[in-house]
Chain A
């Protein structure tokens, strides 16, 4: 018996993880009445694995989500317990923020924010079936027997669709350890014609801090000066916790090797493909036999509480083996496991079936975000959630979808990769995936995306005014360093900056081009500059120091855009284009690229085929 719920929604979001929360908040903040449905109200924005946010490329994503008015940056700024910038000795494009979160606080704050959002209803319920009429989604039914109706549905199912947990050779259904799995939904999707695949991921055991001898481990403190994730967070002054570095040894590896017959991974029980960049410890021991030690960062899961997360040691070996190998490690001699590590297999829907708006091609109004798209990572999920929420809302409002270019943000790189490239293992963002990496920096995420966020309706007045002020400062400060010169008569300055013999006047801009001079030094000799914010001056410095490289990347972007702007009409008939191979034809028909540029990124589509398509378009007067 299904009971129709009396209230009709515009957007219904299924799942309240990192993707679902962003999707629901974006949709509600854009003015759509929104329902957020989750299997468990106590696990909102749960960090199922690593209790941390950010890192290379992921930190970039968080900055972009924040610039567009998403919640993740604010949430980690509010609940982070250790902040560390990575790659500080490398260039600005590859520096990234990373923070340890208080896992429970992170979840609680996100739940609170969602509860406060006016147009957003948060409810517990497990979705069994999607309701589709004439190719468009109209609602869904829960296991509890309620039918909810809406114009758009965003699915963010995480690891819950037919989730199967493996610990040793034992396995059981579950979406996360101790939680239910969603058994009905992927069948519903299959009936709608979607291609469903299976992936695997894993997590390490959580250890009791009380049982660890920290005196034997190397301590890793956070940064003295915290640089927040969010553009609107001015300052974070919070007590920080330490992480620790532990190491496996030959004994550990021997224990693991001797137990491989009890590993579901090596005995062939697990079918799903795991992430290449995050192998389990048994995988590492087998694949890199010459490495006699593997490092693990030991991360506290909260400000209070005892659970510690040992990174890099995810496993699906039986609990007794887990305990034995941990106890072979220095500092862990008497360790107690609080929750054993496990592997989980789950269903995903191959994302090449999506449009660049994250709407499925088969069912109008149905959007997918997060692990259902074969990705991994909280930041990747949140980014997709934000975009899916935005585009679901825009669909209800009769607006065109927002699609971010590969040259505009990691968000754009990610979505383009997902809808264009086959998923072979869980997708994670790396800076090397971004062709225009030098332009897509954390420090300029606000410049790249705040205006878009404002246009969409997610950037409020406070953020907008702060942004405009920074932009004004950047322009003013650039003018000053262009116009102000140091002459040989400014003896004190010449001496302070160690400029040696100056023959004639030199502008501050030219001085800043020298590798040994930084903006802080100029600030010291040019008091006018100290009126500007650190962030504004940083932009000026980067623009001057990297001018040549930025210019070259912009030229690349221009070439890239040429092909990007040649649109492939939706009704293009690839069967009519001569001289392209059947294989290429099939791929084009399947993926339906929106531009010649996207077509050129499809694997197996040769430059020759692109040339042929281009010629065909010209002949048909499409381009």
Chain B
């Protein structure tokens, strides 16, 4: 029963991956090999598409693998499977968290956790920046994507100094990038 297999597999992936979508990729890969669902090369292509299309990478990958194995129904059960653990865990802990968020112990713990989250977000910007700014994803000053760099600086200034919606900045940057092919 492919639907059940897809659901259980992606439920497991959702339940046992810590650290977000990218941490799921190795897990999905090993599950796919274990079931003999897709070739490694097909999977690599799916991850490429999951990164390029909007939305959470985990959802994109689950939908795509599900579709390949079981059509629209397969993609629905795989997506449901990968999202359901989050939903259940959040529902389980939220009632506790929101009830006790003003609690002194929670305040102490979050005093220490908040700078960690700020650090993780800053580090994410650096690492995504590294792979976006350099043509071979390694810091080499002779191989800089100048278009990305200039657009990044412009967006940085606009985001800090104006109230333009980030979605407009993303769309505008895509259009600017597109126009560079006519340079």
A-B interaction: no
**A residues whose Cβ falls under 8 Å from a Cβ of B:** none
Chain B contacts to A: CB under 8 angstroms: none
